[in-house]
Structure 1
Amino acid sequence: MTPVDFFFDPGCPYTWRTSRWIADVADAGAAAVTWRLMSLSVLNEGKEIPEEYRPVMAQNVRVLRVLAAVEDNDARARLFTALGTRRHEQGADYDDDTIAAAVAEAGLPDETVKAADDEAFDALVRASHDDAQAAVGQEAGSPILRVGGKAWFGPVVVPVPEREEGLRLFEAVRLLADVPSFSELKGSRNPF
């Protein structure tokens, strides 16, 4: 299995779809994924954020704290899946009820929910975010995928590819990671 770091902001719908791809690649035995945090709020500090996005960004900060409180990688993956399913597939806000239901579904202690309002976890989120940015070597959004010593923004996949197509995509990414001179590939995004 190829070790992969997947840096994600749980509020990004493109990241959610890409996370389902890399989770399926891991389920197929092709990758060992470490679920790492990054923050679009941190990325956009000091920038003008349109008013309509501010409440969502505030919700994401709280959810990132809860995810940061979960140190076990498998538990973090379960929690992200429970949260993301509610947010990105069922249209729920990241409110207290959604967070509590996701924590319960992930099999985590009830007190995990309290991390949402604990600013002490902001330092862990920021440290992981900074690691993601350093890995890419420039400012980059969510998701960031690191394969070996190489990291990129993306890939962004919409819709989530079926298993065989997803494994081919992962093999291509893995091969690109072995080419030291390769740095970027970008195209237009598919609509949802």
Structure 2
Amino acid sequence: MTITPDTYDGPTEVDFHFDVMCPWAYQTSIWMRDVRDQLGLTVNWKFFSLEEVNLREGRKHPWERDWSYGWSMMRIGAVLRRESMDLLDQWYAASGKALHVDGNRPHTPDVARHLLEEIGADPAIVDLSIEDQSTHDEIKAEHQRVIDSGGFGVPTLYFGDTAIFGPVLLDPPAGDAALRMWDLVLGWLEFPHLYEIQHMPRDEKKIFETFRPYLEARDWVSINRGKEVGFEAQAAG
């Protein structure tokens, strides 16, 4: 039976771990918001750091740097979340669109301040988040939660204590199709030993065209380019 808002009786709350810098997580977040709005779900936005999980030996941890791309953006998000989850939701949506759709650089302090103004928040939160060392602790704890579950990237969804990596989406479905995708995701919960299904091969040209704004706006070299870097924005987180 196809899920409808009137007949839905599944989970009403989900934790969604993300890194603003991950293009795949951003695509999935668009779908997640559509499902949330249709079914009245509660989405708890949580953090995960690609900078940390992909850290090369001898490099500084992201919390050891004055400013560190995705990590610093999540520190801003941590401050916003203390006021309300809705503010973090707006921040993720605005900063994700800026990077992955518009090709801007929300991972720079000046653009981050501008985006805060766009969502009606105080741009001084950028400096506050840098000064507040406890923001590191929030991100570390949520990152470690995924690692301790055997996770390695984002998007990672939690239904209670059950974690699922994905869905990894290039074209986020909307409307009825979004609900059908949600039904498929919930189906995974019935099979704890179903670990992986993939389409083969990937449409590399379509992936490149979709992620072109992100590729042009990033200020780091990823592992995709075959060069040594401190932060690798790997495909699928």
Bucket of the pairwise TM-score, normalised by the shorter protein: 0.7 to 0.9
Residue correspondences, number: 183
Q: Which amino acid counterpart does residue 108 of structure 1 have in structure 2?
A: A
Per-residue CA deviation, residues 4-58 of structure 1 (Å, 9 max, x unaligned), is 1000000011111011010111111253210011110121223599xxxxxxx93
Would the aligned equivalents of 1:37 and 1:129 in 2 still touch at CA under 8 Å? Answer: yes
- Which structure is larger by alpha-carbon Rg, 1 or 2? 2
Contact conserved, 2:114 with 2:123, CA < 8 A, in 1? Answer: no
Could you say which structure has the higher helix fraction?
Answer: 1
Identity of aligned residues (%): 26
Correspondent of 2:191 among 148, 167, 179: 179
Q: How far does the alpha carbon of each residue in 1:63-95 deviate from its partner, in whole angstroms, 9 at most, with x for none?
A: 111112222211100111111111111101121
2:150 alignment counterpart: 138
3-state SS in 1 of match to 2:92: helix
Contact 1:149 1:177 in 2 (8 A): no
Partner of 1:107: 120
Structure 2 residues not aligned, in runs of 5+: 1-10, 60-66, 211-237
Matched, 1:149 2:157: no
Counterpart position of 2:64 = none
- What is the rounded CA distance, in whole Å, between the counterparts of 1:33 and 1:143 in structure 2? 13
TM-score, structure 1 length as denominator? Answer: 0.85
Contact in 1 for aligned 2:151/2:165 (Cα 8 Å): no
Name the amino acid aligned to 2:19.
Answer: D
Moved over 6 A (4+): none
Distance 2:86 2:165 in 1: 23
Partner of 1:90: 102
What letter corresponds to residue 29 of structure 1 in structure 2? L
Aligned position for 2:39: 29
> CA shift at 1:61, angstroms?
2.0
Residue among 8, 16, 19 paired with 2:18: 8
State whether residues 65 and 115 of structure 1, in contact with CA within 8 Å, keep that contact through their aligned partners in structure 2.
Answer: no
Q: Is 1:170 paired with 2:185?
A: no
> Residues 115 and 131 of structure 1: is their aligned pair in 2 closer, same or farther, counting only changes over 3 Å?
farther
Alignment of 1:122 onto 2:141: no
2:167 is aligned with what amino acid?
Answer: P
Gaps of 5+ in 1: 50-56
What is residue 161 of structure 1 aligned with on the other side? 173
TM-score (norm 2): 0.70
Task: Tell me by how many angstroms 1:171 deviates.
Answer: 1.2
Counterpart secondary structure, 2:39: coil
Cα deviation for residue 115 of structure 1 reads 4.0
